[in-house]
Structure formats: structure tokens, C-alpha cells
Amino acid sequence: MDLLINMATTSIQTEVTQNWSKIFFFVLECVGIYFLSRKAEAKKKWMAFVPFIRYVLVGRIADREKEGRVLIGLRVLDWSMSLAMDFIDVADEVNSILETTGPVTVISSDLKLVFLLAAMDLAVWIAIIVYWIRLYLGICKRFKARNLWVVVMIFLEPLVFLLFALHKRYVYYPAEEKVADGARVSGARAKVLAEGLTVDITDRTVKDSGKEKRLLKDIHLSIPRGHMVLLLGGSGAGKTTFLNAVTGYEPANAQVLLDGKDIYKEYEKMKFDVGFVPQQDLMRGNDTVYRTLSDAGALRLPDNMNGLARKKRVRDVLESFGLAMLGDTLVDKLSGGQRKRLSIAMEFISDPGLFILDEPDSGLDGVVARGLFEKLRSIADEGRIVIVITHTPDRVIDLFDDVIVLAKDVDRTGRLAYYGPIREAEEFFEKDGMEQILLAINQKEEGGEGRANEFVAKYAQLISGETTMGKAGEN
């Protein structure tokens, strides 16, 4: 008995020494699965570190949980047969030792049994490889990666998982979903523009009374520089939430790039590259126009800009917005149009590449509003991106290039119902004018036609299957 114990101990020590690389590979695989599950926002990430069970987690990420569970059974079966083979090997070693001391046999290994176990083990491993490939194909689909990555995963799975998890190029897209009337997730991916805005929003959720509420889902678009874009949507469609996600003020589960730079990851550096003009201005009425703009410059202009350059920038912006003659005028004495121009100038002072305005024409008459939008058009023509919300789009629609239409789907989640050129939008919705489009997507209880889900599904169908999507940006 002591001899058997010593042999078993020696065998275990030898096995551990010889297989340290397997242990390292196992740990690396667990780490890769863990980081992959974080990017996919999968639940029960701890499963990544549990032998066998971790395949359920991989299956959930790949939207192939059934394959993951089958793989668990196959790996357990393979492990059991390996133990049986090891037991037979130990028995043979014991027999060979005892035979030298006399005709004694502790255990007899049947050659047929050995061949049977070996054949079964081979069959199990073939099945394991098949199910691995199925899982890997699912991973590639969810990350919009080429299927050729499967070959690399077979040999270097942990490294590929880490690459998908950590590289910003690979964005996780949940499995396509269908709701009651067919409005589905498109699975599209925005075309990354070297000069422009790239938005890939998987979703935006908040906690409401302890429950998770989804505000936005499946919004992907690319806007090139020089474009002026209308943001259209009914009440509660998620327009403000969308803008807050784009600016980084309220980040979503998304990737937002401006000229290829990640706004979320480089927020402190890029926050002044994005100008946002709210509907209500934040100006002190007892300050002069010049002082108001100068104070905005002190906050938004680079710290290394000298005083003379700062003053020149303030004067240039006042001139550009037709406010040069009003520099000494108190804000309270300005007309509605002048006040709105000053509010825009405060954001424009830092020369942002992306300019967003929430109802800049609110409270303005038609002539003044038209003049304001013509100024915004000139800002876009200088090579900037201008995104505008307005409740009277048709009176200035000729100044816009594209339109983003957001609508509430059957789950009351803000979805992308259309993005592209103005005239193509009218053809898509079979409507004349933006206000008619808005009427079509509004809920019936809001006086609309209640067709939001129809157009969300139609647009998702239009762009589904494309690996990149930049509808307006390609024109």
C-alpha cells in the first residue's frame, strides 16, 4: 500500500511539473473570457473562472448557450475518460513492479478496454472541436469579425478573446431581437470616418425604481464634416438622451468617435471640441455682451493662449455673429434673436468641430429664425458638423443635408427609424415634409399614426447584414 501511495504521489508531482504550461494557459483563458464578458455586459462574470461552467458564459456571449452546455458535458466526459486511462496506466506500472516479486496481479488491464476508451476519447474530441467552432463562429458574429478568426481561436483562444475585449475596433453587438410586431435590432455598424462623427450606440439604460429601463437601442450612424443634420423625433423618442450620449455628458453603452478620436476615452481633452447650445441660455442679464463672451472664452479656450490672442478671438466671434456693435450692451437689453446668437457664440468661441443645438429657434419669428439657421448653415459649410433639434423643420428644411429620425418602438425605447438625405427620407416614409414624417411615427395617443415600429423595422431591415453603415456619409 505504501508503494502505491508513493507511486501516486510521484505521478502527481511529475504531472504538475510537466503541465505548468497547461495551468498558465487555463488561467489566461479564464482572464480572456472574463474581459470578453465585461465588454458584452454578460451576467455572472465569475463563471469565467469556473472549470467547465465557463463554457456557459462563452455560449451566452456568442448567443449559443445550448452549444456551451453541450460542451460542458463533452469536456466532463473527456476528463472522466482521461482519468480512466491514467488509472489503467498506473495499474500497469504496479503490475510490472509486483510481477518482479512473484506472480501477483493487482489489476488486469484489458487491451480491448484500452482501445475502446481511446476510440471514445477521439470521438469526444472531434465533437469538442465541432462545438468549439460553433461557439467561435458565434463570437465572430457578435463582434462583426471575419470567420477566419475561428482558425486562430482554435490555437490561441485566450489571446483572441483579449483582443476582441480590449481593442476599440471590436464592438459587441447583441443577438438580433424581434418584438411582437417584428421591430428588430439591425446588427449594423457605423462606418468610421477619419473626418466626421461616428456613433455606435448599443443601448442606453438607467435604473428606475430599482428596475433597469432602456432609453435607447441600436443607433448607428456616421456624419461627415460639412453636414448640417436635423434631429427629428416625437416627445419621449430619446432626442435629448441621444445628444447627451453623443457629447459624452451621459455616456451610453457605445462608441462615439470624432475624427477617429474616442470622445468617451478622451473626454477631458475633447469636451471643448463639442459645442452644445441648450434651449434655455445660461447668461447673466446684468453682464455686457463682451463680458459674457469673454468669460466663456476664459472657460473654453486653451490655457496657453495669451491675452491678446484671447481678446482677438472674442472680437472675431462677435463680428462673425453680428454682435460687434453690441459689445457694451447688457444681455437683458438684447432681442430674442440677438440673445440666441450670443448663446451660440459662447459655444462657438472654442471653435468646436461638432456643434449641437436644441431648439435654437424657440421663441423666434420666421424671419429671425431663418437668419439664425442660415448662420448655422455657414458654420457647417466651414467644415463643421451641425446637429439641430427644431419643432418647425419644414420652414428651413432646404438648409439641411440629412435627417436623423428617432422613434419609440413597441417597448417605448428610442430607436433609429431613419438616417440619410432629406429627400430620400420623404421617399422612405412616403410623406411630404418632416412634419408629416413626425406625424407618422408619433403614437396614436399623441395624435399620430402610431407607425413607429413599422419604420424602425423597415430601416433595420434596410441596413441589416451590412458590416458597416454610413448611409448619409457615403453620399
Convert the pLDDT of each residue in 275-297 to its tens digit: 898 877 778 888 898 999 999 88
pLDDT higher at 404 or 8 = 404
In angstroms, the CA 196 to CA 205 distance is 26
Task: Evaluate if residue 13 carries a pLDDT over 80.
Answer: no
Question: Out of 3.40.50.1970, 3.40.50.300, 1.10.260.40, 3.90.440.10, which CATH number does the structure's domain 196-279+359-474 have?
Answer: 3.40.50.300
Task: Evaluate if residue 210 carries a pLDDT over 80.
Answer: no
pLDDT value at residue 100 = 55
pLDDT higher at 342 or 26 = 342
Over residues 417-434, mean pLDDT: 93
Q: What is the pLDDT of residues 349-361, one digit of tens each?
A: 988 999 999 988 8
In angstroms, the CA 20 to CA 475 distance is 57
Q: What is the pLDDT of residues 241-264, one digit of tens each?
A: 999 999 998 999 999 999 999 999
The contacts of residue 91 (CB under 8 Å, 6+ apart) are: 106, 107, 108, 109
User: Which of 73-82, 152-161, 348-357 has the largest mean confidence?
Assistant: 348-357
pLDDT value at residue 437 = 94
Determine the 3-state secondary structure of 178 from DSSP. strand
- Residue spans of the domains in the chain: they are 2-165, 196-279+359-474
Task: Evaluate if residue 109 carries a pLDDT over 60.
Answer: no
pLDDT value at residue 85 = 67
User: What is the pLDDT confidence band of residue 467, given thresholds at 50, 70 and 90?
Assistant: very low
In angstroms, the CA 67 to CA 184 distance is 24
User: For the chain, what is the radius of gyration of the CA atoms?
Assistant: 31
**Nine cell digits for residue 283:** 447668461
DSSP string, 391-411: S-GGGSGGG-SEEEEEEE-TT
pLDDT value at residue 291 = 92
Q: Which of 44-53, 238-247, 413-422 has the lowest mean pLDDT?
A: 44-53
Over residues 388-408, mean pLDDT: 93
**Nine cell digits for residue 173:** 453587438
User: Which of 57-66, 168-177, 385-394 has the largest mean confidence?
Assistant: 385-394
| CB half-sphere exposure, 137, CA atoms < 13 A | 8
pLDDT value at residue 450 = 87
In angstroms, the CA 404 to CA 419 distance is 5
DSSP string, 432-467: SSHHHHHHHHS-GGGTS---HHHHHHHHHHHHTT-S
Look at the block and give the residue holding cell 467552432. 133
In angstroms, the CA 311 to CA 295 distance is 11
Q: What is the pLDDT of residues 173-193, one digit of tens each?
A: 776 544 444 456 777 788 899
- What percentage of the chain exceeds 70 in pLDDT? 84
pLDDT value at residue 229 = 97
Over residues 366-372, mean pLDDT: 88
Over residues 9-24, mean pLDDT: 60
pLDDT value at residue 110 = 56
Over residues 35-58, mean pLDDT: 86
Q: What is the pLDDT of residues 114-147, one digit of tens each?
A: 677 677 778 888 888 888 899 889 898 888 888 8
Q: What is the pLDDT of residues 415-424, one digit of tens each?
A: 999 999 999 9
User: What is the pLDDT confidence band of residue 378, given thresholds at 50, 70 and 90?
Assistant: very high
pLDDT value at residue 207 = 78
Over residues 57-64, mean pLDDT: 88
